[in-house]
Structures are given as structure tokens and as C-alpha cells.
Amino acid sequence: MTSLPPQPLSPLDGRYRGVVAPLAEYLSEAGLNRARVEVEVEWLLALTDRSLFGTSPLADTERDALRELYRSFGADEIAWLAEREAITRHDVKAVEYLVRDRLATLGLDRIAELTHFAATSEDVNSLAYALTVQRAVERVWLPALSAVRERLDELAVEHRAAPMLSRTHGQPATPTTMGKEIAVFASRLARVERTIEASEYLGKFSGATGTWAAHLAAGPDVDWPLVAREFVESLGIGFNPLTTQIESHDWQVELYDRARHAGGILHNLATDVWTYISLGYFTQIPIAGATGSSTMPHKINPIRFENAEANLEIAGALFASLSQTLVTSRLQRDLTDSSTQRNIGVAFGHSLLALDNLRRGLDEIALAQDLLSTDLDANWEVLGEAIQTVVRAEVVAGRSTISDPYALLKELTRGRRVNAADLAEFVRGLDIGEEARARLLALTPATYTGLAMELIDREV
């Protein structure tokens, strides 16, 4: 058997590449290296802007040329770094050498020794990861989450007045509206979305063990913590002044836990919509040319929601692993975090793929109101809750002498199908006031939805 030509091992880099490609701009190896070059360049500018060690601020043309190193980062730089890292066996050192090489090309040899000055690799990495994760989340992943939540808002309003039978424990229960049930998911997602929007992205720049020791040895009169803070914050990143060799990753733990939480809500959404489809509450809109089964031509399978479910489970497991690993570092440094962080893009990739499937799936379903109405009309016994509650109120008000309203309705309805005529006859025979009797006789499963419609108007 001949060997296959080189193939992507992960489906994210294979069949799903088109969906997750926007994340690769930031969370790929190349995206990380571009951010590392950005950090190295901006550190050079921070040092020269302060005229440290006899330097002076660079001319505008020199500054622009230097920044082009990361702004125009592309295939040549990727290949250069791969070749050099094969020798250095150290990714950040290869980046340092790249910057030094380009300084020579730009005629800026005079500041070459300030490249990576007093920095440990984790100074550069902490900022590079903060930049890439922040940009991936804010520019790619969060907009995809918002698109799903916004679609849910639209569906909640569209179906606000569509009564349906609830199913608690899978059994017929007090009616609701489809809009209100969808709104629950939209509200849950919005809450987590707000916490993710408020996430911190932190970095450190304090040297080998977080003490600025090398910095002070070279420049004892410089306020290095202030220099570091101003530099880090100039990148749009929060500053962590108290660290070991690494920034402690707690902001990452918080972010990945929130992303996993959002994924859990989305997973619940996927399984509920799948169930509504199986009940016939939603029909699926046929897509021209699509095949549901290789042998059963009639089938339209809910693959969008099944795909989302599976990818959310993979993403959730990866986010949990990231959180569990990154919260711990042995003494002042160990390398478990380095290997773990290389999978950040994989976690967000599976999550983004799920979001794409959910958004598309929600556009490919239609509410089967006729079936919802039929289901409601076949389950009049769900009004037992309303009847026994009204009778209780009548007893308290002195308009009824019934001793145990709940037991009375339990005997009538538990485990039994009761139709409209049966309930009407039962209500007419109750010892209650006429106004209450009239309200109960007017009630149907389709109108017994409480404030479901008003909740949409208030909350969505």
C-alpha cells in the first residue's frame, strides 16, 4: 500500500478549514510568532523612546520601517523562523534572531543589543499570547457567539405567541411558548457573553524570575516596573507586576472557563432543538442537493445541531484541560504551560465550528404550529395545575369548602388523558365561586401560558 501525500491530521485544518481560518490569523504558530515580533519591536521602541543607555528616539521613518517587521509578517518570515528554530531549538530565540537580522537590513545595527533586552522568553510570550488570544476572541469568536445569540433573540420574538406543551422530565407539563423557551437560552448566553467581553488579558515584563534583577543590574537608576507597566499597557494589555518567571495565567483560566460555560449553554440549546425537531415541533427546511441518508431518500437529519453538539464537547474538554493545567506552575517555572497553550486555537476552533453550525442550523428550521396546537389539544390534563390552584385560592377566600384540592385533581388527572369535555364537566361540579368557574371554563391548554409572551416583551 502506497503512502498518502501529506494530509492534515485535524479536521480543523482539513474539511473545516474554511470555517476556522479566521482564528488561524491569531492562534496559529505563525500568528503567535508575528505577535512575538510585535512585542520585540515595541520593546525596542519603548527603550529608545526613553533614550536609555545613550540611545535616542528613532526617526519616524525608522519607526515605521521597524513596525513593518510585524505588520508585513508573512511567508518569508515564517520560513526564516522555521529554518532558524531548527538550529536554536528555541522558538523565542529564533524570533530574536529574526529581529536582529532585519535591524541590520534596516541600518539599525546601533540598537541591535537592545533586542530582547533583559527579557526572558516568558516576558515576550505572555504578551504575545495575551495579544493573540484577545484579538481572536474579540474579532472572531465573540462575534460568532453574538450572531447565535442575536438569532435566538429574533426567533424568540418571532415565536413569542406560539403556545406549546412543556415537557418537564419528558412528560406533558404546563404550557409555555416557543419564543419564551428560546429566550431563556438567549438570556443565558447574553449573561456569559458580557462576562467574556469584560475579560482581562494580562502580561508581565519583569525578567527571569519576576524581579527585574537584570534590568537593575544594567540600569540601577531606572524605574523598571514603571517602564514595564507603561510598555505593556501601550499594547492594550493589562499589567501583572507580581509574577514568577511566567505570568500566572489566571486570566486565561477565567476566560477558558467562561468559554466552556458558554459552550455548555450552547450544548443544551443544540440538544433541545434536536429534541424539538424529533417531536416535530420544528421542521427542517430542505437544502437543494443535500442528502440526508445514503439509503433513505426522505430523511433530513439535524446534522447542524449534532455537529455542534460534538464539537462543543471537544471544545469543552479542551477548555477544561487548559484551565486545569494553566492554573499551576511548579515553583518559578515549568514547561507544561508551553505545550498546553499551543492548543488554545484548537479549543476555540472546535467552539467556532459549533457556533457556525448552530447559526446555520437555526436558519434552516421552521416552527410547525399545527403540530404544537394538536399536541396541546391532546393534553387537557395539564390544566389540572390551574384548577387546583384556583380552588385553593377559593378555599382561602371562603368561597369553597373543598378539603384537599390537589388530591382531588390528582385523582382526576394523574396518569390519565382528560379531554375538554371531561374537564368542563368537572369544573361545573366544583364548589367554587362563579367568577372563578368562568375563568377556568374559558381556559385552554393553548391559553394557559401565563406571562410567557410578556416576558419576551420585557426581556428581549
Which residues belong to the active site? 169, 293
For 174, what's the count of Cα atoms within 13 Å in the CB-facing half-sphere?
10
- Residue 240 CA to residue 397 CA, distance in Å, equals 64
Task: State which amino acid sits at residue 119.
Answer: A
CB 319 within 8 A of CB 257: yes
Q: How many other CB atoms are found less than 10 A from the CB of residue 259?
A: 26
- Residue 275 CA to residue 104 CA, distance in Å, equals 64
Locate 229 and state its grid cell: 507597566
For 355, what's the count of Cα atoms within 13 Å in the CB-facing half-sphere?
26
Give the position of cell 529581529. 99
The CA-atom distances, in angstroms, between 388 and each of 165, 168, 219, 403 are 19, 19, 82, 11
DSSP letter at 205 equals: -
Size of the chain, expressed as the number of residues it contains: 460
The CA-atom distances, in angstroms, between 273 and each of 58, 201, 267, 316, 458 are 59, 35, 10, 20, 24
CB 308 within 8 A of CB 358: yes
- Residue 348 CA to residue 133 CA, distance in Å, equals 10
Helices (H), 89-120: 91-105
| Cα–Cα nearest to 186, from 282, 280, 255, 273 | 273
CB 358 within 8 A of CB 268: no
Give the position of cell 492562534. 27
Q: How many other CB atoms are found less than 10 A from the CB of residue 427?
A: 20
How would DSSP label each residue in 363-398? TTEEE-HHHHHHHHHT-GGGGHHHHHHHHHHHHHTT
Report the DSSP pairing between strands 163-168 and 171-177.
antiparallel
